[in-house]
Amino acid sequence: MHQSKLFSKTRKEAPKDEEAKNAKLLIRAGYIHKNMAGVYEFLPLGLRVMNKISSIIREEMDAIGAHELKLTVLQSKETWEKTGRWSDEAVDNWFKTELKNESKLGLAFTHEEPLTNLLKEYIDSHKDLPLGLYQIQVKFRNELRAKSGILRGREFLMKDLYSFAKDEKEHEDFYEHMKGVYKKIFDRVGIGEQTYITVASGGDFTDSFTHEFQTLCENGEDTIYLDKEKAIAVNKEVYSDETLEKLGLNKENLSEEKAIEVGNIFPLGTRFSDALGLTYKDEKGERKPVVMGSYGIGISRLMGTVVETLSDDAGLIWPDAIAPFKVHLISLDQNEASEELYNELTEKGIEVLFDDRELGAGVKLADADLIGIPHRVVVSAKTEEAGKIEYKKRSEGESSLISTEELIEKFMA
Ligand code: ATP
Ligand code: MG
What are the angstrom distances between the C-alpha of 7 and each of 1, 89, 93, 282, 331?
Answer: 10, 44, 34, 56, 19
Mutate to test the pocket of ligand 1, among 137, 152, 154, 195 (most ligand atoms within 8 A of CB): 152
Nearest CA to ligand 1 atom 26: 152
CA of 87 to the centre of ligand 2 (A): 20
- Ligand 2 centre to CA of 34 (Å) is 24
DSSP state of 140: E
| pLDDT category of residue 203 using cuts at 50, 70 and 90 | confident
pLDDT of residue 66: 98
Question: How far is the centre of ligand 1, averaged over its atoms, from the C-alpha of 170 (Å)?
Answer: 26
* Residue range 43-52, pLDDT digits in tens: 999 999 999 9
Query: pLDDT at position 7, please?
Result: 97
* pLDDT value at residue 53: 98
- The reported pLDDT for the residue numbered 322 is 98
According to DSSP, the residues that pair with 160 across neighbouring strands are 135, 296
Provide CATH 3.40.50.800 ranges for the chain. 325-412
For residue 349, the model assigns a pLDDT of 94
pLDDT tens-digit map of 92-135: 999 999 999 999 999 999 999 999 999 999 999 999 999 999 99
Q: What is the CATH number of domain 325-412?
A: 3.40.50.800
Q: Does the Cβ of 296 fall within 6 Å of ligand 1?
A: yes
Give me the CATH code for the 20-310 domain, please.
Answer: 3.30.930.10
The letter for the amino acid at 90 is A
Decide if pLDDT at 287 tops 90: yes
- The one-letter amino acid at 246: K
pLDDT on residue 413: 67
Which ligand has the minimum distance to the alpha carbon of residue 262?
Answer: 1
Across the chain, mean pLDDT equals 96
State in Å: Cα 232 to ligand 2 middle.
Answer: 17
What pLDDT digit, counting tens, does each position of 226-267 carry?
999 999 999 999 999 999 999 999 999 999 999 999 999 999
Over the range 325-351, which residues count as b (16 or more CB within 10 Å of their CB) and which as e? bbbbbbbbeeeebbbebbeebeeeebb
The predicted model scores a pTM of 0.97
Above 90 in pLDDT, residue 202?
no
Q: Is 262 touching ligand 1 by the criterion CB < 6 Å?
A: yes
Residue identifier of the C-alpha nearest atom 22 of ligand 1: 298
* pLDDT surpassing 80 at residue 204: no
Q: DSSP string spanning 255-299?
A: EEEEEEEEEEEEEEETHHHHHHT-EEE-TTS-EEEPEEEEEEEEH
Closest atom, ligand 1, to C-alpha of 153: 28
Nearest to 162, CA basis, from 175, 177, 152: 175
Query: How confident is the model over 69-86, as pLDDT tens digits?
Result: 999 999 999 999 999 999
Q: Which residues contact 243 (CB under 8 A, 6 or more apart)?
A: 199, 234
Pocket test for ligand 1, best of 201, 235, 261 (most atoms within 8 A of CB): 261
Residue 300 CB–ligand 1 contact under 6 Å: yes
Q: Which of 171-185, 190-204, 298-312 has the lowest average pLDDT?
A: 190-204
Ligand 1: does its nearest atom lie under 6 Å from the Cβ of 146? no
Q: Is the CB of 303 under 6 A from ligand 1?
A: no
154 CA closest ligand 1 atom index:
27
Name the residue at shortest CA distance from atom 21 of ligand 1: 298
Measured from the Cα of 213, ligand 1's closest atom is: 18
Q: How far apart are CA 291 and CA 125, in angstroms?
A: 14
Predicted confidence (pLDDT) per residue in 323-346, tens digit = 999 999 999 987 788 999 999 999
User: What is the structure's pLDDT at 241?
Assistant: 96
What pLDDT, on a 0 to 100 scale, did the predictor assign at position 261? Answer: 98
The answer to whether 236 and 243 have CB atoms below 8 angstroms apart is: no
CB 66 within 8 A of CB 76: no
Q: How far is the CA of 186 from the centre of ligand 1 (A)?
A: 16
* Ligand 1 atom index nearest CA of 263: 18
In the chain, residues under CATH classification 3.30.930.10 are 20-310
Overall average pLDDT of the 60-68 stretch: 98
Residue with CA closest to ligand 1 atom 25: 152
